[in-house]
Amino acid sequence: MYLFSTTGRPPGVPHSNGLSRAVPAFAAIFALSRAVPAFAAIFSLLQADPVFAQAASESGWFNADRTQALVLGIILTGAILLYVVLASAGRPLFIRKIAGLDTVEEAVGRATEMGKPILYVPGLNDMDEVQTIASMNLLGHLATIIAGYDSRLHVPVRKSLVMSVARETVQQSYLSAGRPDAYQEDDIHYVSDAQFAYAAAVDGIIVREKPAACFYLGGFYAESLILAETGNSIGAIQIAGTARPPQLPFFVAACDYTLIGEELFAASAYLSKEPRMLGSLKGQDAGKGIAIVFILAGSALATLYSVTGSETVREVSEIVLWLFR
């Protein structure tokens, strides 16, 4: 790994001597030595609390029934940290192509050539929903591209808090692109809390302004097909994404590209190429791969036991499947 090797460092990274590598390690050891007494003092205070002491005596300090959760947590955390280190050191990480995200710049360029706006619908949920948070991250990246192309972005929202976050996100994107004068606050506006009133208003915007590109990214419900069919009727390029399985068939049928499930959450890392986000994404995938291997191995051993009746095979299969009970 680049972290421990001086010969395997990525191009453009200057050579670092042993002292520069040792200093962070000594600093971490010093911080740990200062933190241990503090944790010990807190622990002793907790022990002196009668309520805490009674709870500890009744349940014990370690719940053996949750050991598999601890082991899984350690495996997943280790995989994420490993890939974050590799990505931060400049090691290229393979991320499979997502066609819908690769087409974003093409859609914006087409809208600019046609002199038409771009419509972005962040879903119907509030900011306490993870899909909306992922949608805001994508909106920031899209706004940066739009600012560079000098196109117009139209964002109708259903929740007032989403409107505030979207305005802040888009404004920051325009500032980072060097085009603060092009930011129009009124293009990001509140419509209605009512589901189908909101859908009708967005349909009206699509019919009147005829955007060249429509993005539907976030949490959607019964209005998904209404929005997508209206955008399809005007010939717009449509890119949709949601983690709600019941709405995916409608987006697949009516849109040009669809981000399916976790692709919506992976989009931020895919577009930004930020090392920590990429490392986290790859680490989670590695954790899923390990889980799949253990499940398949355990299933194969359980099948072998049912055929042979070997107690050794049964014991091994129980150990393998123990993590996922």
Find, among 320, 316, 262, 266, the residue nearest to 291 by Cα: 320
Q: Higher confidence at residue 34 or residue 271? A: 271
What pLDDT, in 10s, does the model give residues 123-171? Answer: 999 999 989 998 998 999 999 999 989 889 999 999 999 999 999 999 9
What pLDDT, in 10s, does the model give residues 160-191? Answer: 999 999 999 999 999 998 999 999 999 999 99
- Separation of alpha carbons 215 and 119, rounded Å: 6
Residue with the two structure tokens 């209005």: 223
Q: Residue 58: is its pLDDT beyond 80?
A: no
What pLDDT, in 10s, does the model give residues 256-314? Answer: 999 998 888 888 788 877 788 888 888 888 888 888 888 888 888 888 888 888 888 87
Q: What are phi and psi of 153, to 5 degrees?
A: -110, 130
Amino acid identity of residue 311, one-letter, is E
Q: What is the pLDDT of residue 41?
A: 55
Q: What is the pLDDT of residue 50?
A: 62
- Please state the pTM of the whole predicted model: 0.71
Strand, coil or helix: 325: coil
All domains of the chain in start order, with CATH: 104-255 (3.40.50)
Q: Higher confidence at residue 21 or residue 277? A: 277
Of the candidate ranges 75-79, 211-215, 237-241, 253-257, the one whose mean pLDDT is the lowest? 75-79
Count of other CB atoms within 10 angstroms of residue 161: 13
Q: Higher confidence at residue 247 or residue 60? A: 247
- Separation of alpha carbons 220 and 263, rounded Å: 15
- Separation of alpha carbons 192 and 194, rounded Å: 5
